[in-house]
């Protein structure tokens, strides 16, 4: 009997440690503007998803994972995921990368002396070569070097991602639908069902992940009255399961 109990507990522990969840959040700039097109990378799984036009993202993961946020023109940011991030949005602020200020060239007037004027008007060969080399370097794409790990950072072997971020032809993704449902129904709808405000988006995502049909909604970017009634029925049918530990 003790041996059976031990194996049951071991199985439960294994399932819990291997359980995957979804992490969602928003990426903004220093002036609180949404940043679309940011590449969000789960370092453990190497899954990569982009932020949508409103800066929102959703990626599979679990507590202990590390997310990396990359976009040209911004400093790269990393975030360690905790249990709190599974139940609440992850908000990231990216800082713009420093840019070089254009050089102001001060030209000297022509003196009429060939030796002096040739030195003033013609840059030395080493300087000219350096400028040419820099121009070639700056014209190259920098994505591979931006995504490369910094010294001392852990690098996870490349594996296939387990979650794709919608079809290209779809007008909406799950984050767009999540935001629409929350705005259309209002926080009061969920709070009357004893769902805390901080848990509303997580609860909506739970409904979408547990079989709510939304193929046409994502394709056309439109929610009909029938779709809204289906969602309300799904909420009432699954809220008990959501609240059950």
pLDDT at 179: 93
Give the strand pairing for 90-94 and 21-29: parallel
Alpha-carbon gap, residue 37 to 55, rounded angstroms: 8
pLDDT at 84: 80
DSSP line for 74-117: B--EEEE--HHHHHS-EEEEEPBPP-PPPPPP-PPPP-S-HHHH
pLDDT at 244: 81
pLDDT at 122: 61
What's the pTM?
0.39
Chain segment 127-185, per-residue pLDDT in tens: 677 777 777 766 666 555 555 555 555 555 544 444 444 445 789 998 999 999 999 99
pLDDT at 131: 74
Alpha helices in 106-186 (DSSP H): 114-121, 125-139, 143-147, 174-185
Alpha-carbon gap, residue 243 to 237, rounded angstroms: 12
Chain segment 34-43, per-residue pLDDT in tens: 999 999 999 9
């Amino acid at each position: 009997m003790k041996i059976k109990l031990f194996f049951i507990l071991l199985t439960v522990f294994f399932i819990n440690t291997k359980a995957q969840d979804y992490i969602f959040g928003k990426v903004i700039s220093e002036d609180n503007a949404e940043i679309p097109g940011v590449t969000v990378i789960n370092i453990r799984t190497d899954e990569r998803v982009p932020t949508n036009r409103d800066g929102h993202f959703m990626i599979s993961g679990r507590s202990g994972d590390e997310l990396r946020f990359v976009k040209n023109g911004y400093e790269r940011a990393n975030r360690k995921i905790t249990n709190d991030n599974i139940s609440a949005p992850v908000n990231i602020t990216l800082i713009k990368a420093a840019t070089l200020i254009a050089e102001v060239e001060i030209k000297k007037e022509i003196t009429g002396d060939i030796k002096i004027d040739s030195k003033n008007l013609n840059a030395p060969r080493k300087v000219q070569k350096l400028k040419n080399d820099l121009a070639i370097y700056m014209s190259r794409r920098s994505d591979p070097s931006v995504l490369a790990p910094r010294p001392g950072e852990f690098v996870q072997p490349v594996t296939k991602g387990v979650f794709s971020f919608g079809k290209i032809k779809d007008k909406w993704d799950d984050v767009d639908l999540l935001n629409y449902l929350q705005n259309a129904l209002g926080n009061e709808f969920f709070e009357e069902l004893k769902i805390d405000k901080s848990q509303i988006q997580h609860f909506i995502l739970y409904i979408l992940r547990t079989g709510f049909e939304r193929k046409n909604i994502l394709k056309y970017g439109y929610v009909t009255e029938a779709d809204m009634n289906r969602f309300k029925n799904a909420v009432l049918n699954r809220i008990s399961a959501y609240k059950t530990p």
